[in-house]
Chains A and B, each alone.
Chain A
Amino acid sequence: KAGVTQTPRYLIKTRGQQVTLSCSPISGHRSVSWYQQTPGQGLQFLFEYFSETQRNKGNFPGRFSGRQFSNSRSEMNVSTLELGDSALYLCASSWGLAAYNEQFFGPGTRLTVL
């Protein structure tokens, strides 16, 4: 069974631009969560999608948004990029919404904002 895939793996953007990251969950998984990882703030939850609906949202500004498609693939978008948005963005998928479900992480997208 293929794991969680994220594209692109690396991205370089400049301030003010916008970016879209993609996540394909493990086949059969319907829940997708996104996390931002930075040296200063650590791992922080962005949002979670299940059945094309956002079920949970972290404490991030409105510049961060996401969506989920009917095939469970998810995208996250960051508009008006700031230097502080440079981070590793991790996507995780699980079978369902329940807290006990194991989450499987993708390799991440490394975003650099210049």
Chain B
Amino acid sequence: DAKTTQPPSMDCAEGRAANLPCNHSTISGNEYVYWYRQIHSQGPQYIIHGLKNNETNEMASLIITEDRKSSTLILPHATLRDTAVYYCIVRGDRTDKLIFGTGTRLQVFP
């Protein structure tokens, strides 16, 4: 599975959009981009995933570049409860293994 690169930490003001980038320059055509988040001392929470097209659900939007080498997770109106470590993971279509990197620690401040 392709490796991902994320900034170690980011800050965001409450009520503003949080844009979390992820680089996956070695992604192959059949690999999905998944996003999870982990709030302190809890299990990871699924957020969203995509293959080629941009995706949106009740939690977030996922923007994938046309060449698929990077993506951005957007939390449109961040709240204090969105403070967590966000993981971007690339997963092949023939495996359900997830390999977690170090993620981005998002701190939402009042």
Do chains A and B stick together as partners?
no
Give the interface of A toward B (CB within 8 A). Answer: none
Interface residues of B (CB under 8 A from A): none
